[in-house]
Structure 1
Amino acid sequence: MGEMIGMIKLCLVGLFILVVAGSTQAAADGHNSGVDERRLAGAPNLPVPLTLLTSAVDKGAVCIDGSPPAYHLDPGFDAGKNRWIVNLEGGGWCDSVRGCLYRKASRLGSSNLMDKHMYFAGIMSSSPVDNPDFYSWNRVMIRYCDGASFAGEGYDAGNGLYFRGQRIFDAAIQHLLSIGMASADQVLLTGTSAGALAVMLHCDQFSGFFAGAGRGTTVKCLADAGLFLDAVDVSGGRTLRSYYGGVIATHGVAQNLPKSCTARLDATSCFFPQNIIGSINTPIFLLNAAYDTWQIRESLAPDTADHSGAWRACKSNRSGCDAAQITFLQAFRGQMVATVQGFSGSKTNGLFINSCFIHGQSENRATWHADASPAIQNKDIGKSVGDWYFGRAEVKAIDCPYPCDNTCHHDI
């Protein structure tokens, strides 16, 4: 009897392994497996495994430490099998050898230190409830490990630092094209923060990969929290301009900036979106908070400019801002609104600037398309982006000044 029970247990274990293996293989092949049925039933998003792009190493497309670039791919299913979202991960920049050495020892500079799985949310979600327009698409997150918005080209032999962001972008997109994206019907390049800046820098190049394919692929771009302004800080200086100058010099970015900009302006100016968005030919959607908290902390009132610490409370929580500080922030909002005036004149472009204190809203379930998500004129971000992408409506939404919007999710 004991032997029989043992054999039954072995059979059950074997059957379980076969079921799991079959389900995993089906998901990898993009089939509508049991996993996809769970998604359609509203199950939580599942972890998406990391894939190392080892073939890119021979092309010199490597992270700061020389490790291979990487991505996460959640295959599309049903109506989304031939549709792709390519997301360029964000994560700041390094503007000096010292800063890049620090980054080299983190997930932002080495694929050896990246999490082996990632959970997708917001525009990357596989839930039809959370992400009704894009949930079934092939969704790819290209990991960020170069420190210059996928735009650098250089090598520091003395410190063993590889500045190969442009090569990473090229190699990753070519790889995705080779595994099915070349036959896509619809494609969206997206990114948040430094990834959003990368989207603006590479939007037309990305579109060019599909030119002449004969399929009439719809290609558009979405930049979330990437409208970094060349703004004056609280001490009268330009902290972010100085920082960007270091990024460009350290990584050799100048050669990869849009020629339409560098023909008339210096390289540092051409790393600022306000000087390049007007010449992007591919349809693009700008999503940004008018009171971007990263820019408040690191560009407008960084510790190096806030010598007395007067902005410390305001930077931590909007309720800590006094009247003069709010006036200063309203002027920053005014600069942002003025920056997009010409951009918004194009019928193919989209715009959503809300009066929230936050940085990044497209990759978060609560701020993308939930019951209490931020909205302008009763339309939330997910619905706005979907309406723009599919041509259901023109979207040029600019919120009234703070504190009029009670739908915001503010950073604290």
Structure 2
Amino acid sequence: MIDLRLVREHPDLVKASQRARGADESRVDELLAADAARREAVKRADDLRAEQKAASQAVRTASPEQRPAVLDRARALAAEVKQAEEALRGADAALREAHLRIANVVHDGVPPGGEDDAVTLRTVGEVPAHDFPVRDHLEIGEALGAIDTERGAKVSGARFYFLTGPGAMLEFALAQLAIGQAVAAGFTPVVAPALVRPEAMEGTGFLGEHDEEVYRVERDDLYLVGTSEVALAGMRSNEVLDLSAGPLRYAGWSSCFRREAGSYGKDTRGIIRVHWFDKVEMFSFCRPEDAAEEHRRLLAWEEEFLQALELPYRVVDIAAGDLGTSAARKYDIEAWFPSQGTYRELTSTSDCTTFQARRLNTRYRDADGRNQTAATLNGTLCAVARTIACLLEVHQRADGSVYVPKALRPWLGGVEALTPGMTLVAPVPAPNA
């Protein structure tokens, strides 16, 4: 949630952010009204408690003649205090509800508009010029024995799949490459739970307007995450972090689940838009003043990974109306998909400022030893299913084989190409010296 002081002191700034997002700016006035009502409820409860305390003292010093009237007044005040405290609880709840309805304040310079208004910042790599009929990733994957969507649908329904043989090996190879890069950059690797409590989902901004995308296990009141960002943020909730040495960074591996509500008819073929996939997610806690630079670092690490996979891509600055609730700025990296003749999102990275940490009560100590709200950032290093789809399409060859980027070869037994019918041998660890 955003800082209430910002809303009180600069309501027009927050309203401008709401307008840029295409959200209702009247929610800012509703929040200010709820804030004023809550402060008034606090004052009334405090005043009545003070009167009640004075009345209790008066009972002890009252004369026998005064005592009945003083007791009546004390009883009346006790009832009024009880009512005031109940009103305060209601005001607290109303304030929280109004507070949660407002998205993060977008950064200056974020492009205006919606989904189609993202601004391309740079394009990297050469789009392949295939001199043969291009096949899509599903056709290639089926020929390699790597992807089986028919049996995935038989077992689990539409938008599910099996990765088999070289497809499964590609997943393991991508995971090893991504985690290895993250660890080398100073991230702590984490295997994160895919089921979380409501507090973690709400704290990271994935409930409310986005809950149609989320799978819920109602019997246990748990949610299946759409990204390990949720578990990684929740892992340090209600804690005071030590950021004296710089940002605290985690690289989370988890399965991710998305209902894809509203995507009927979109990307129904293959494994580009699915209900379940595995992912390596970078997550950073840092001081708010360091967040912009940390955001650039996350983006650079994402680019480094795609360059290692030898994939052409472009970096886009996402428009305000297409930002998630928590993000103040987001960069997407879109890789080239030859079968579609266009760039499609492969990774993204978001600066969530103090929005999530304020909800989750995640703090750090400043130079004066005072607790301050931390900033959080996230960035996808590898969404495995979509990355496999892109690899197969970009690196396909006329003879039906698929070129293996050099960075992946150590995890695929050293092979330079995937071919139909081949059997991959897992890499053998070097013996101890």
TM-score scaled by structure 1?
0.23
Q: Could you say which structure has the greater relative contact order, defined with CA pairs below 8 angstroms and 6 or more residues apart?
A: 2
Structure that is richer in strand per residue = 2
TM-score scaled by structure 2?
0.22
User: Which one has the largest radius of gyration?
Assistant: 2
